[in-house]
């Protein structure tokens, strides 16, 4: 049975990437065949690369039945039994002449499949499949090559701000570092930077800090005159400068090390970085990622320097054993 994804969650940056990767995860969990609906913004990321394309206007010519399955499931589903119960009701019976359309932020996040695979609940390593596929397709589509660390080591740091930094309007963004869109302070990011410099040596690392114009004052004040550091101010997200968005995402992918924020945009980029190191804070929509390729921070930005220095592995799951999943 075929399925496709319609991007209706309302976001034009990371949220639509979450819809795409969340929908691909659902398809793989239930052994559905993906057909791509063209979408200009997301096609840059290679999500329809090498897949059959079915235009919206051609759906009724190709399929006898078209079934829409709607969300939202903003945070996916963590419990495997709950997952089975949900989609047993939501998905139609299998049929070769049926197209299932996943829409309205219907997601299972790729990272959520990691414990299911390690516990033997799923036979496919879906996280690794998606990471391999989207990384390879993006690299091939844009002629990127994975090299050993540059000299100096290039680190991209994403600091999320925009309207989300309005404490009066969004008090929930300042309550817990484990919440989506939590706004970390500058001490958190500087602590990460200091740990990376300690791992590789001050002067052997350069930092490119990316943020938006809106509410960037504290970022500029802290980092604009810091040695080996450059602050890159982009357009505010409401401007929908897609060329710039695509360029920044590519910079995130190409960096030797990416430091994510609690932003859907850089969180999603973590899946495109097979063979590169990514630093992240474990929270509601990014957890369980395998070391040493992925390195989690503490709430204050401290992290394991030995993991930073450890070589990137080809097969990242032997670092876990059943019942020993990193939270």
Give the pTM: 0.93
User: β-pairing, 2-5 with 153-158?
Assistant: unpaired
Average pLDDT over residues 223-240: 88
Residue 203 has pLDDT above 90, yes or no: yes
Average pLDDT over residues 198-221: 95
Q: What angle do CA 132, 126, 139 make, to 5 degrees?
A: 15
Residue 318 has pLDDT above 60, yes or no: no
Q: pLDDT band at 319, cuts 50/70/90?
A: very low
Average pLDDT over residues 216-233: 96
Residue 324 has pLDDT above 50, yes or no: no
Q: Which pLDDT score is estimated for 316?
A: 65
Please state which of the ranges 44-48, 80-84, 277-281 shows the lowest mean pLDDT: 44-48
Instruction: Work out the number of other CB atoms within 10 angstroms of the CB of residue 289.
Output: 21
Q: Which pLDDT score is estimated for 291?
A: 94
Mean pLDDT across the chain: 92
Q: Which pLDDT score is estimated for 146?
A: 84
Of the candidates 48, 108, 39, the one whose C-alpha atom is nearest the C-alpha of residue 72 is 108
Q: Which pLDDT score is estimated for 237?
A: 73
Percent of the chain exceeding pLDDT 70 equals 94
Q: Which pLDDT score is estimated for 317?
A: 62
Average pLDDT over residues 13-18: 88
Q: pLDDT by residue (tens digit) across 119-158?
A: 999 999 999 999 999 999 999 999 998 888 999 999 999 9
Q: pLDDT by residue (tens digit) across 22-77?
A: 999 999 999 999 999 998 888 999 999 999 999 999 999 999 999 999 999 999 99
Residue 306 has pLDDT above 60, yes or no: yes
Q: Which pLDDT score is estimated for 148?
A: 84
Q: pLDDT band at 162, cuts 50/70/90?
A: confident
Q: Which pLDDT score is estimated for 325?
A: 46
Average pLDDT over residues 244-256: 95
Q: Could you give all domains of the chain from N- to C-terminal order, each with its CATH number?
A: 2-142 (no CATH), 153-309 (3.40.50)
């Amino acid at each position: 049975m075929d399925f496709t994804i319609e991007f209706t969650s309302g976001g034009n940056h990371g949220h639509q990437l979450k819809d795409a990767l969340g929908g691909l995860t659902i398809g793989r969990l239930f052994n559905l065949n993906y057909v791509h609906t063209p979408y200009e913004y997301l096609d840059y990321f290679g999500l329809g690369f090498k897949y059959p394309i079915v235009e919206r206007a051609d759906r009724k010519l190709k399929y006898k039945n078209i079934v829409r399955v709607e969300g939202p499931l903003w945070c996916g589903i963590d419990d495997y039994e709950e997952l089975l119960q949900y989609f047993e009701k939501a998905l139609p019976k299998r049929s070769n002449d049926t197209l299932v359309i996943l829409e309205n932020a219907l997601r299972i996040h790729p990272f959520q499949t990691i414990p299911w695979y390690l516990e033997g609940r799923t036979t496919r390593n879906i996280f690794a499949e998606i990471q391999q596929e989207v990384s390879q397709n993006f690299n091939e589509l844009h002629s990127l090559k994975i090299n050993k660390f540059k000299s100096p080591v290039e680190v991209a740091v994403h600091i999320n701000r925009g309207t989300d930094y309005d404490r009066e309007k969004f008090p929930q963004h300042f309550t817990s570092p484990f919440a989506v869109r939590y706004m970390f302070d500058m001490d958190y990011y500087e602590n990460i930077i200091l740990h990376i410099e300690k791992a590789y040596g001050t002067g052997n690392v350069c930092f490119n800090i990316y943020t938006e114009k809106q509410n960037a004052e504290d970022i500029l004040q802290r980092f604009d005159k810091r040695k080996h550091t450059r602050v890159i101010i982009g357009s505010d997200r409401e401007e929908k400068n897609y060329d710039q968005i695509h360029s920044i995402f590519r910079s995130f992918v190409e960096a030797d090390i990416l430091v994510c924020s609690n932003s859907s945009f850089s969180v999603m980029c973590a899946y495109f970085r097979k063979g590169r190191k990514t630093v992240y804070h474990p929270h509601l929509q990014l957890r369980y990622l395998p070391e040493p390729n992925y390195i989690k921070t503490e709430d204050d930005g401290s992290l394991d320097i030995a993991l930073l220095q450890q070589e990137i592995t080809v097969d990242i799951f032997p670092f876990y054993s059943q019942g020993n999943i990193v939270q």
